[in-house]
Structure 1
Amino acid sequence: MTSRTIGIIGSGIAGCSMAYQVGTQSGEPAEIVVLERAPEIGGRIKRISVGGQSINAGGKYIHSSNELLLGLANTLGLKLSKPMKPKHGPSGIWNGHRFVVRTDGPAWRANASIVRRYGLSILRIHWVTQAFLRRFRRVYRLPVSTAGFETPTDLLHAIGLDHLLWIPGDEYLRDKGISDRAIDEFVSAITRNFYAQNASEIHAFACLVALVGGGTVGSVYTVDGGTIQFCQQLLERSNATVKTDMEIRSIEADGSTVSVATDTEDFEFDVLCIAAPLEPADISIGRSLEGVDFPEDIGFVRLESQFVAGECSPEYFGSTDAPPGSVVTTADSTEPFYDLHRQPTDGETGTYVFALASREPSVPVTETDIFYDVTEVQTIPWNAYPEFTPRSDTAPFRLHPNVYYINAMEPVISAMETQVIASRNVWNLMKETD
């Protein structure tokens, strides 16, 4: 039997899970080729070494509701653990001058602080997020789980959540009886941490996904040894050929063949799956794909993640002892950063490593009063997330009978689980075509 050649552009979690499905579930032989622009696989999932410590520099959290990721982790034999919290040092929601809420110390004290400041709003946030999650879980059930939807909007319509795409997050929560204070501080601290955007700037669907991921319901886990193991093992089990340092120049579909030209090599595929963003890319699209209706107003948030080995001033955050553990900021914060996190280490002594996320261009840490005795700084600039402005139009998953766009999901929502859901949907579309 002649094998089909399947091309996949992008080796992040979407591309790797797509390769895994093709490699392990195809009813016919398939040759899989994964093209990655960067020198290494993983996309925004990275593992870097700073200050002698190996830390995650990209996607790292898995929520207890993420059925596809949890299933893959079990299949791959990956061990999950709850994230370590620093034992000492101030953590909480910071407005640039003071902590409006402290979350360090005993859980009961942190919860009491949150309820005292936000009152019934914090319970309403919990109820709204719980109701959202119950409906979202329909994506894992029949008939949705085996159907192939043409657009992300169609997929969300099938589970009754598409209306959340055109409602601003703050407006939706306000209609649910949640106070402006809770939205601007508590909710926006979480959306800024996840997407570097305030609740007022994003649609309600992104806002609620962030609240779920932020732990307002359920539990959050990390992968022991790094999330990059997902990509490594999915590709290994798919038996895919992986080619890195491949800058895509053009894509053209001609009849039953899809041609992809890179700066070093040309390829021909029977089917092409694109698991990287086309909107900001400098790729020539052939005439057969020119009629695709992409939303024109998709912008991207450019972040600089700074990883700092050194000391962080306790006095800067109003403390006199240990450096801060986890600091997220309010919508009206005067700080140059969205969030600051002390990375977990084997002990509480020695060199600390801090992760600091800021809009590009960021303020160099050496020019702030936050850090001192800095021994190493690694700065990673990246197109972190699409701007999740309320919208009703989304790009299609199917660009051509032989070309599929997994990344159509990302301008709707950017999360590891939803990228795996998108690759599952494309796989379902491919099976329907076959």
Structure 2
Amino acid sequence: MFKAAFLTMLMLSGAMSAPVSGTESAEVIPHNVTTIDKRVTHVGRATWFHAGLGNCGDWDDDGSPIIAVSSAMYKEGGNCNQWVEVVNTANGKTVYARMRDSCPPCGYDDIDLSPAAFQALAPLSQGVFTASWHFMNQMTQTAKYLWKECQVGSANDQNTKSDQKRYFEIRITAYTLGAHPASHTDYDRQLLYKSNKASLSNLIQFGTNMRKSLKAALATSICAYSAQASYHGLHPGQHPLTAGGVKSDTNEFKVAIIGAGAAGSSAAFWLSRAKSRLGENITITIYDKNDYIGGRSTTVRPYDDATIPTVELGASIYVDANKNIARAVKEFNLSTVEYGDENQETGIWDGSEFVLTLSDGGWKKWWTTAKLFWRYGYSSPLKVRTLVKDMVNTYLNLYQPRVPYQSITAISSALNFTHITSVSAAEYLTDNGVSPLFVHELVEAATRVNYGQNVNDIHALEGMVSMAANGAHSVAGGNWRVFERWVKESGAKVHLGTTVQQLRQGTKGKWHLAVEGAGEETYDAVILAAPYKSTGIKLEAPGLDLGTAFPPVDYVRLHVTLISTTAKHPLGSYFFPAAPETAVPQAILTTGSGSVEPEFNSLTYHERIQREGQPPEYIVKIFSKSRVSGEWLEKVFGNGTVGWIRRTEWDAYPQLPPTTTYPSVKPATGLYYVNAFEPFISTMETETIASLNAVDLLLHDRYGRGVCGYKSEEDYPSYAESGDFVYGWDC
């Protein structure tokens, strides 16, 4: 992918970053208790899950009264360990619980309760109810005392457990009173009266002799006994928003998803969120012909050595503007790697000479800027930066709440992008005052490395997307880890290494899915989350015109060659036959504007590796239109310098000529096509946006409501105007 550092310099704008800050939880114990009435009250769906290791970093068991809140309420751990009062609006029952985890599938005001907390308000078999809840004051001195008592294990005997059960409805109230532990009788009376008036007369007779056991019971209720992980869908024993919270099997709605890449995995995730919010019995099954999750995002290990970091074969980066992937990375606490090396030089090669060399580091950055202005003038870089910035700002509207789009044409029109997709990048940029030299050298370097296409051949929107790489990151271990987590969070059944051969719609509207080497399965709806042409699926449905629904979309056949080499740089003799000692950059992009077509699209040095007993090596990634031979590698890097080689050939991305015609988002009743979006914008992130739109369409068709439970844009809450709001996550 195009270097983020290079693009940042090119656009003459500061690098954007979104660090994930760690959360330090320090318990502050106020002497005075603030009034609960001043807190903001939320009303949402309450469900239950099996407790364990929460994102706040603490262990809890099912007997601990805890809750998990939505990603927005979690605030990257900012609300960890706060106490919450939860009321079942149907019966008025109240419980007090501690916020210990985040719940990615939860809507903005929804909460997920441990079984202990849920049972205080409703039977587990009910699965879901409407709750009113708010954050309370921080722990009082008494609460802190009890918490410490819990930690040293003073409340683990059987008598205490019996007391815990008896006083379940009153056990957290101590944290809201602030009474001094020395005033035993008054303390007990306040506690019992405030939390359980109905049993007051029976409990008072225990008097002060019950204080210790009552306190022990309270402490027990907040103790964590076990070491079971809690990841809201990841742990096999967990019930994320589904146990008892859906309708009976007679109303089961079966959805098949074909493809487990960015589109399919995110579609499963969006469906699981809808299942929570709507309370419907939706079952999800994923099929993928590959034996891994990730689609075109996959990694390999040099030499198959587990001690060496993985290398991306494709789909290498995401950027700050990619809110779905960025949000998932934060929610799932995935480590990231910043993209690019500020000390690495980048050259643009036209097949016979380097037309420009660039560097981001130190004084060289200023020299690079001077060279840019000297070669292209002052206005061209600034005009491109402005055009790209305006495009990104418009694109961000896709994260706002909305009714689903019925077609890609409708999306393009709503964003006012149609006039941009209808012309080539070269035509659009030059018409907007950008110099042809800048377009055919710098912009084309970006389109060739990102999409394997020249500026005369690619539409202007995708051309500008190629330039929008500010704040670039990748997930440590591979971007596919996001997609794997989405699948796990969804609770979907997954069939990998499974080729779907036929999709046939029956007379009753059901879809019959035939798998190679197996029988048929029947589904109510199907989400096709892979390029239709590449699936080879035989598709039949009444009235379906395949030519209209799936107009031809050709894909770029890309050769990806990964090597390890002891050469610190490519050989000067390949690029400068007359001056073989000339230093060559470690990152080389190309332009097709020269007299000789370059033999590769890009060549970039990546990690430095060190195998035991071997000299240091460098991992190099080469994109090309045709296979690079071993002889060519020796010519570029030197005889005997290349060790490990991994070659991959695949349809990496669609050909993206100027167009206003796109495949159908809904080719037939109950069939939804995510990859219809690809000829418009083709990125990992936009596949997740397209999948959300497809899922929204499916849900509106079935239930009259979308992922967030709303029927129309007028139903969406005002907090959607927040810059941090992400539709589908925050609802």
> Which residue number in structure 1 is paired with residue 544 of structure 2?
290
Quote how far apart the aligned CAs of 1:95 are: 1.4
Partner residue of 2:266?
17
Indicate conservation of the 8 Å contact 1:68/1:420, yes or no: yes
CA distance in 2, matches of 1:253, 1:112: 62
Query: Aligned letter for 1:308?
Result: I
1:179 aligns with 2:435: yes
Once the two structures are TM-superposed, the CA of residue 317 in structure 1 deviates from its matched residue by 4.5
Q: Would you say 1:344 and 2:607 are equivalent positions?
A: yes
Deviation at 1:422, TM superposition (A): 0.1
Aligned equivalents of 2:553 and 2:399: distance in 1? 28
Query: In the TM superposition, what is the alpha-carbon distance from 1:320 to its structure 2 partner?
Result: 4.6
Partner secondary structure for residue 620 of structure 2: strand
Higher mean Cα deviation, 268-277 or 349-358? Answer: 349-358
In the alignment, which of 233, 252, 256 is matched to residue 7 of structure 1? 256
1:201 Cα deviation from its structure 2 partner:
0.1
Aligned partner of residue 300 in structure 2, secondary structure: strand
Q: Which runs of 5+ in 1 are unaligned?
A: none
What is the aligned partner in structure 2 of residue 225 from structure 1? 477
Alignment of 1:30-429 (within 5 A): 30-51=282-303, 52=305, 53=308, 54-85=310-341, 87=343, 90-104=345-359, 105-106=361-362, 107-119=365-377, 120-141=379-400, 145-212=401-468, 215=469, 218-254=470-506, 255-265=508-518, 266-288=520-542, 290-292=544-546, 293-294=548-549, 296-310=551-565, 311=567, 312-315=569-572, 316-317=574-575, 320=581, 324-333=585-594, 334-345=597-608, 350-359=616-625, 361-368=626-633, 369-372=635-638, 373-429=641-697
In the alignment, residue 309 of structure 1 is paired with which amino acid?
S
AA at the equivalent of 1:364:
S
- Say if 1:86 and 1:342, in contact at 8 Å, map to a contact too: no
The 2-side partners of 1:133 and 1:382 are apart by 29
Structure 1 contact 136–161 (Cα < 8 Å) conserved: no
Q: Which amino acid counterpart does residue 236 of structure 1 have in structure 2?
A: K
Q: 1:109 is matched by which residue type in structure 2?
A: W
Answer yes or no: is the 8 Å Cα contact 1:62–1:221 preserved in 2: yes
- Report the CA distance shift for 1:30/1:363 in structure 2 as closer, same or farther (over 3 A): same
Work out the CA distance in 2 between the residues paired with 1:175 and 1:323: 35
Root-mean-square deviation (CA, aligned residues, Å) is: 2.0
Contact conserved, 1:258 with 1:270, CA < 8 A, in 2?
A: yes
The structure with higher relative contact order (CA 8 Å, sep 6+) is 1
Q: Which deviates further from its counterpart, 300-309 or 91-100?
A: 91-100
Question: CA contact under 8 A between 1:152 and 1:409: conserved in structure 2?
Answer: yes
Q: Secondary structure at the match of 2:285?
A: strand
Kindly tell me: are residues 289 and 382 of structure 1, through their superposed partners in 2, closer, same or farther at Cα, counting changes over 3 Å?
farther
Displacement, 1:185? 0.4
Give the match's secondary structure for 1:398: coil
Amino acid at match of 2:357: R
CA distance in structure 1 between the aligned counterparts of 2:370 and 2:504, rounded to whole angstroms: 59
Amino acid at match of 1:251: L
Cα distance, 1:365 vs. partner? 4.2
Mapped to 1, the partners of 2:587 and 2:543 lie a distance apart of 46
Paired AA for residue 344 in structure 1: E
> Matches of 2:583 and 2:521 in 1, distance apart?
55
Contact 2:609 2:616 in 1 (8 A): no
C-alpha displacement at 1:389, in angstroms? 0.9
Shift of 1:346: 6.5
- The whole-number CA distance in structure 1 between the counterparts of 2:356 and 2:630 is 25
Q: Deviation per CA, 1:95-150, whole angstroms, max 9, x where unpaired?
A: 12332221234332333322222112111111111111122222122xxx332112
Q: Give the aligned partner of residue 185 of structure 2.
A: none
Aligned equivalents of 2:694 and 2:342: distance in 1?
41
Q: Distance in 2 between matches of 1:195 and 1:287?
A: 34
Kindly report structure 1 stretches of 4+ aligned residues shifted beyond 4 Å: 317-323
Distance change (3 Å), C-alpha of 1:186 and 1:323: closer
Distance across 2 between alignment mates of 1:203 and 1:139? 20
Higher strand share: 1
Q: Secondary structure at the match of 1:279?
A: helix
Change (3 A) 1:236 1:297: closer
Distance 1:207 1:365 in 2: 33
Query: Max radius of gyration: which structure?
Result: 2
Identity %: 24
TM-score w.r.t. length of structure 1: 0.92
* TM-score, with structure 2 as normaliser: 0.56
1:374-412 residue CA offsets vs partner (Å, 9 max, x unmatched): 112111100111110111211111122211001111122
User: CA shift at 1:228, angstroms?
Assistant: 1.3
CA distance in 2, matches of 1:190, 1:367: 24
Deviation of 1:323 after TM superposition, in Å, equals 6.3
Query: How far, CA to CA, are the matches of 1:66 and 1:102 in structure 2?
Result: 29
State the alpha-carbon separation in 1 of the partners of residues 492 and 550 from structure 2: 32
- Asked if the contact 2:608/2:616 (under 8 Å) is kept, the reply is no
- What's the offset of the Cα at 1:341? 1.1
The one-letter code of the counterpart of 2:540 is G
1:165 and 1:204 in contact (8 A); partners too: yes
Structure 1 residues 68-77 or 282-291, which shifts more?
Answer: 282-291
**Cα distance in structure 1, aligned partners of 2:601 and 2:381:** 22
